[in-house]
Amino acid sequence: MTPVLRFAPSPNGLLHLGHAFSALTNESIARRLGGRLLLRIEDIDIGRSRPEFVEAIRDDLAWLGIRFDGEIRRQSEHFDDYRRAAERLRERGLLFRCGCTRAELSAAAGLDPPRDPDGAPLYPGTCRRHPPPLERPCAERLAMDVAGARASSPLFWTAFSDNGEEERRADPSRWGDAVILRKDVPASYHLAVVVDDALQGVTHVVRGADLEPATDLHRLLQELLGLPTPRYHHHGLITDAAGEKLAKSRMSEPLRAHRERGTSPAEIRRMFGFAQNPTPST
Ligand code: GLU
């Protein structure tokens, strides 16, 4: 079976050096495994995604000399796939409607609530105890205790690296009653990523270490939806001079600023220790 990898940026800003490193890591592993490399645009956040960022992403990746196989998948064109997957969870009684607003959630959280790995307070269960009226716009959340009890236990995922493979125990409960369908769009990052990885036949997920805790929840969703589970490699994060992880939200310098200053794609590859692209595109 040919390995399949994917690079999956969100078009809510310009790519920075951290994305370049992630895309080049995917390229290098795909090449080593003799696999295919897909590009997926993760644009379910329709309020923040912009067509001009999609164009800029494609242009920056082409400039870096990374070639992708197959069609580009844009998540915003596939909400039906995510709706269908959510329906399967709903039929099994694993979802509940949640009408809590951001303000209600932060008021309920108090001063020092238990938090998920992203730092958000764990859901306090308000709408599980008091289901919201049907006319209220709602998100849908995973009833984590019910979901955990339905899945195999313990649950593992496979981490791979140059040193081989290793089983990691998944602890999805640390995400609490995670949002599966958002209030504004019929999808969420966690649902869309597992549905797409399965639909696209992804066998090896290569992404930043900041997403490693999310893998526990992804593994649980795969199990509940009967989807295959890829192997995972979470690479280190590129930091700035102050040691902070690069992020669009911190206005990290975009890749194209390096390009405009005359840095070449070969220099970027060398900076990260990747060999020159053997057949550079023009
Ligand atoms: N879209 C995510 C990001 O840009 C990546 C998701 C993934 O690789 O699973 O951070």
Q: Indicate which residue's Cα is closest to atom 4 of ligand 1.
A: 9
Tokens of 32: 């080593």
Query: From the CB of 9, is ligand 1 less than 6 Å away?
Result: yes
Residue 281 confidence (pLDDT): 45
Cα 103 from Cα 96, distance rounded (Å)? 20
Report how far ligand 1's centroid is from the alpha carbon of 10 (Å).
7
Q: What is the pLDDT of residues 94-110, one digit of tens each?
A: 999 999 999 999 999 98
pTM exceeding the 0.85 threshold for the entire prediction = yes
Residue 282 confidence (pLDDT): 42
Query: From the CB of 207, is ligand 1 less than 6 Å away?
Result: yes
Q: Which atom in ligand 1 lies closest to the alpha carbon of residue 214?
A: 9
Q: Which atom in ligand 1 lies closest to the alpha carbon of residue 193?
A: 9
Cα 180 from Cα 233, distance rounded (Å)? 24
Read off φ and ψ for residue 191, nearest 5 degrees: -70, -50
Give the pLDDT band of residue 243 (cuts 50, 70, 90): confident
Give the pLDDT band of residue 275 (cuts 50, 70, 90): confident
Cα 61 from Cα 39, distance rounded (Å)? 10
Q: What is the pLDDT of residues 48-93, one digit of tens each?
A: 999 999 999 999 999 999 999 999 999 999 999 999 999 999 999 9
Residue 152 confidence (pLDDT): 93
Q: Indicate which residue's Cα is closest to atom 2 of ligand 1.
A: 9
Report how far ligand 1's centroid is from the alpha carbon of 8 (Å).
5
Query: From the CB of 211, is ligand 1 less than 6 Å away?
Result: yes
Mention every residue, 6+ apart, whose C-beta is less than 8 A from residue 143. 93, 94, 95, 96, 128, 177
- Most informative mutation of 193, 204, 221 for ligand 1 (most atoms within 8 A of CB): 193
Q: Which atom in ligand 1 lies closest to the alpha carbon of residue 6?
A: 8
Report how far ligand 1's centroid is from the alpha carbon of 58 (Å).
16
Q: Which atom in ligand 1 lies closest to the alpha carbon of residue 207?
A: 8
Q: Indicate which residue's Cα is closest to atom 6 of ligand 1.
A: 8
Report how far ligand 1's centroid is from the alpha carbon of 111 (Å).
30
